Chain A
Amino acid sequence: MTYMETNSNLTAASDSARGRDDPFIELADIRRAARKSAEESPMRLLIVEDDRDAADYLRKAFREAGHVVDVASDGEEGLVLAREGGYDVLIVDRMLPRRDGLSVIADLRGRGDKTPALILSALGQVDDRVTGLRAGGDDYLPKPYAFTELLARVEALARRGGPQAADTVYRVADLELDRLAHSCTRGGQEIVLQPREFRLLEYLMRHAGQVVTRTMLLENVWDYHFDPQTNVIDVHVSRLRAKIDKGFDPPLLHTVRGAGYIIRDGAR
C-alpha cells in the first residue's frame, strides 16, 4: 500500500491548520544538502530491473541524488554483479527474466552476503511481502512507488553516518535518547514520552539526517503495512514535536513537504 501525499482534503485542511508553527522544509533543500554529502562518500547501488525505462529513470534519479549506480537487466547478470560485492544496497525487481529476484537474494544470503536488499514488486499484498522478506529481503516496496519513498528507504537501509545498532544513546544537537534507561532529555531537561512516542522518536533518531516517510514510520513503529487512509501519522508526529521542540531552539523535527519527516540539527 503506497502512501499518498495530500490526496484527501482532510489532510490538506489539517496540514494548513497546524502548519503555522510547524517547521516545513522543502524536499529540494534536503536533496541539495544530501547531494553535497553524497558527493563526499556516494552510495554504491545495484539496480536489477528488466524494464529499461524504469531502470533508466532510477539510474538518473539516484545519480541526481549523488549516488553511484550499476544496472543489471536480468537476474543472472544481477547475481554476477552482486557477487562481486562492494554495493551498499541492492534494489531488486521481483519478476526478472532468467532468474527471479527472490532467488538472486536467496543465493546471496546463502553465501553469507548480507548486503541490504530492497525488493520492488508489482505484487503488493500481505503474503507477497511476507515471502519477499522471508527470502532474505530487508525491505519491500510495491509498485508503483514514489521515488522519494524509494530513496528514503534505500538511504535508511544503507545506514550511513547514523548511530550504530549497538549505540545505547542517540544524540541530535541537545536532544538525547537513552534506549536502555528509556529516557529522553533535551538541553538536560527531562521529557516524558509515551511508549509509542518513544519508539517513534527512536526510529527518527536512528535515521537522523535522513528523510523518513510516513509509510516507513507506520511499518517500523506500528508494524502495520496497510493504508491508514488519513493523516494518522502526522497527528502522532505533531504530538511528539510538541514535546521535544516546543520551547526549545532550534527546532529539530521537520516536516519535509511531499516526502515525510526528518530529524536533524538545523544549525549544521
Chain B
Amino acid sequence: MEHQQHRLIFKHIDEPGYTNDIDCYIKHGGYEQLKKAVTMKPEDICAEVLESGVRGRGGAGFPAGMKWKFLDRKSGKPIYLVCNCDESEPGTFKDREIVHQDPHQLIEGMMCSAFAIQAKLAFIYIRGEFFQGYKILERAIEEAREKNLLGDNILGSGYSCDIIVHRGAGAYICGEETGLIESIEGNRANPRIKPPYFPAALGLYQCPTIVNNVETLCDVKHIIEMGGKGFSEIGTPGNTGTRIWCVSGHVQKPGYYEFPCSAVTLGELIYDVCGGLKPGRKLKAVIPGGSSAKILRADERFTGKLKDGTEFDWGIEDIPMDFDSLMAVGSMSGSGGVIVMDDTTDMVEALANINYFYAHESCGQCTPCREGVPWMRKVTQRMVDGNAREEDADLLKNIADQIAGRTICAFGEAASWPVQSFIAKFKDEFVEKAREQAARRKDGKEAATETTLI
C-alpha cells in the first residue's frame, strides 16, 4: 500500500532546485508569517500555539504552548529564546536537514516565537559536529539581517531581537535543556535541578528562558500560517501536527519520512514506507524514539487502555505512530528516531553498544549515573568479551533500577530504560550467552565469538 507523506516541515527538503539562500526561501513564500506575526499581539500568538496542541519534538513531548505559558513575564528580567539544535539522540537526523537545506524556515519560526514571548535575544545551540550547518546558519542570519528580518526594529515593528549561533563541542548532555543553558553560560554542561531551575523562570543567566527543539520552532511558523485550530486538525487530538520519523538500522530504505501524527502504524512505516527488511530477514525488535526509548519486541502483544479510555490490543506492527500510542505500549516517540533490528542482531551486543554510548556521555554530576552507567557498560562488555555469567541479566537490571529516578536530570532514565527493557524482553538471550560461552570453554574453544556491534 502507498502511504503519501504529508510534508509540512520537510516540504522543500530534497526538492530539486530548492536552495538554502534567502532569495529561494522568499520566492517560496518565506517570511510572510513573520510579517504577519509582528502585526499580531504577542499574547495572541501564544494563544494560537497553545490551541495548536503542538508537543515538543525534542523528546519529552511536552506541549510547547504550555511551556510558553509558564514563562515568568513579571520578573522584569530579560527573556531569552534558545533553539535546541544539539540533535544528539542516537537515531535522530531531522534537524540536520532543516539546518542544511531550509535554514530560513528555522529562523522565521524562531523570530515568530521570539516575538511571541518578547525575547530580548535568541540563541541557536548547534552541535559542534555540524561544521557546515554552523556556517549555513551564520550566513542565513546575515541574509535575514540585511532584509531587516532580525536585528533592530524588525520590519519597522519596534521589536528588536538578534540570534547568536552557539556551537557545542561533542557532549550529548547539552541536549538536556538546563545542561544546554549551562553550556551557553560557559560552564561544563552539568544539568540543573528542577525545581527551582525551571528555565521558564530561572533559565539562561537566571532569567526566564524558553528552550525549544528545531522542529517545534519550525512548527510555530506553520501555526501562524494556518492558525492554532488549523494545525490541531492535522493528526489526532492530543497528537497534533506532523512528525518526521527518522528510520535507521535494518530496513531497505532508511531515511526521514514526515506524516501526520497517527497517520501510519509502525508496521506500515517499516514495510510500506521503508521497503521492509532485507530479503530473508525477520523483524526482531524496534527502538521507536531514539536510543533512550524502551525497546519493543517483534512478537509482543500490547494490550491496555489509551488516555481517552479506548482499549487496544496490538501487535508491534499495529502501533500507531504518535506520542500517546507509543507511551501506552511502554515506550515513547521521543525524538522520532526509529531504530529497526532484524533477526541477525545479537541483543547483548546491541545493549553493549548502547551502554558504551551512555557511559561515554554521563556528565558525572550524580553518583548513581556517574558510577552506575559505566558499571553497566563494563558488565555488557565483559559479556561480549567471553566472560558472561548467567546472573548478569539480573545484575544489569539491579544497577539500572538504582539509577532511574535518582539523578538530577532525565539522563539517568535515558541510560536505564534501554537496560531495563532489553532485560525485560530479551533476558533469555543474556542467559543463553553465558551458557554458550561456558559450553565453548568446556570444549576447549575460545569463549567469545566475533562481535559486530561493539
Q: Do A and B bind each other?
A: no
